[in-house]
Amino acid sequence: MSLSLKPAPSRWQRLSSLEIPRSLRVLVRTRESGLLLLGGAIGALAGLVVAVMGWGVSELHWILFAVPPGERLSALMSLEPYSAVTVPLLGGLVFGLALMAVGRWRPAREVDPIEANALHGGRMSLVGSASVALQTVWSSGVGASVGLEAGYTQLASGIASWIGRGFRLRRRDLRVLVGCGAAGAISGAFGAPLGGAFYAFELVIGSYSIASLAPVGLAALVGYLVANLFDPMSLGIGTLYVSRVTGHDLVIASAVGLAAAGAGIALMRGVAVCESLLDRITLPSFLRPALGGLVVGSLALITPQILSSGHGAIHLAAVLDRPLRDIAVLLFPRWGPVFAAGCSLPRY
């Protein structure tokens, strides 16, 4: 009779596994209040993820573009031409080389929260999610015209999945916890708890239920509070107090909503068209982000508002009378992935 010994787990396997004491596991698995408290903790971690990633991007902007503390890169009215072109170009080259190295280490595409809940029962890789978050921070830090929301939700949901597996949650509860991570991240990113909760229900969890309402709602609220605690800077969009809403106002609001939806659909379809066109370029994959950086840097010579996530540009567009030409330039780089066809960042 021979005994077979299991090989010792590797460093990465030990990192990706979390063992929670049995008493805590029983508490969470047997009581609804346990899952509620866990959802609140995930929301706090998601808010912290938003704050840390935002801080990292701000530090890169200060180092690479000399952006003063407290200001946003996309809110600058002018930028030194040399930095505007060389930083996205060299940053894209570094990104392409790093992406090629990561592809040899982890050749499979990382699973995003939506796919994880739909196909994998909420299971996500913590290491892979951290890799995607770092790619997002670097891309935005060197001026790529991409948002941080994908990185926020990827890392926050990855942490939620990692903790949920440590508690050995049921498949249904693990999917809810991944939704809590996404809700807290979106809520903290945009200062919109309701928006974060609906994002989790509609896209990540894919359904509404009484059991998931409380933990997801609490995660969205806590995520907003924690992110606002570390970074109280808002998008700069506000509305005046309206004492009485008339039917005329509702008609105008409906028209604006339809126009915004149409613009969003056109933008998404434009991204797909640009991706198909960029795929035809016969260029090594590690050079494609550099080409994208060169294009964005050249457009930044016209207006720096196209750089980074664009929160500062949204503020300027809301308070200044911008000509149609400037608005078209702001939208142009978003008609294709800025760090073009070689980029593997998830898009939601």
Q: How many CB atoms lie within 10 A of CB 56?
A: 18
Residue 63 is encoded by which pair of tokens?
Answer: 């180092």
Residue 348 lies in a domain: no
Is 342 part of a structural domain of the chain? no
The answer to whether residues 257 and 289 belong to one domain is no
Mean pLDDT for 323-329 is: 56
- Same-domain pairing of 145 and 261: no
In this structure, the answer to whether residues 57 and 195 fall within a common structural domain is: yes
Q: Token match 């090594």: residue?
A: 284
Range of the domain at 139: 23-234+282-335
At residue 254, the pLDDT reads: 92
162 shares its domain with 276: no
> What pTM did the predictor assign?
0.80
On whether both 46 and 163 belong to a single domain, the answer is: yes
Q: Quick check: is 181 in a domain?
A: yes
Indicate if the pLDDT at residue 253 is higher than 60.
Answer: yes
Burial class (CB in 10 A: 0-12, 13-18, 19+), 279: exposed
Length of the chain: 348
Please tell me whether residues 88 and 35 are part of one structural domain: yes
136 and 189 inside one domain: yes
To the nearest whole percent, how much of the chain has pLDDT over 90? 41
Q: What CATH number does the domain containing 307 carry? A: 1.10.3080.10
Name residue, tokens 């913590």.
Answer: 126
- 210 with 120, same domain: the answer is yes
188-244 pLDDT tens trace: 998 889 999 999 999 999 888 888 899 999 999 999 999 988 877 555 455 555 567
Confidence (pLDDT) at 342: 43
Query: Is pLDDT above 50 for 74?
Result: yes
**294 shares its domain with 157:** yes
pLDDT bucket at 347, cuts 50 / 70 / 90: very low
Question: 321 with 251, same domain?
Answer: no
pLDDT in tens, 286-319: 888 998 899 888 888 888 888 887 666 666 555 5
Tell me, what's the pLDDT at 306? 82
Residue percentage of the chain with pLDDT more than 70: 80
Instruction: Based on the fold, state whether residues 201 and 93 are members of the same structural domain.
Output: yes
Between 280 and 25, name the one with better pLDDT. 280
* Phi, psi (rounded to 5 degrees) for 231: -140, 85
- The whole-chain average pLDDT of the chain stands at 82
CB 115 within 8 A of CB 145: no
154, pLDDT greater than 90: yes
Same domain, 117 and 193: yes
Q: Which two tokens stand for residue 291?
A: 């080409």
Are the C-beta atoms of 185 and 153 separated by less than 8 Å? yes
How many domains, in total, are found in the chain?
2
Residue 141 lies in a domain: yes
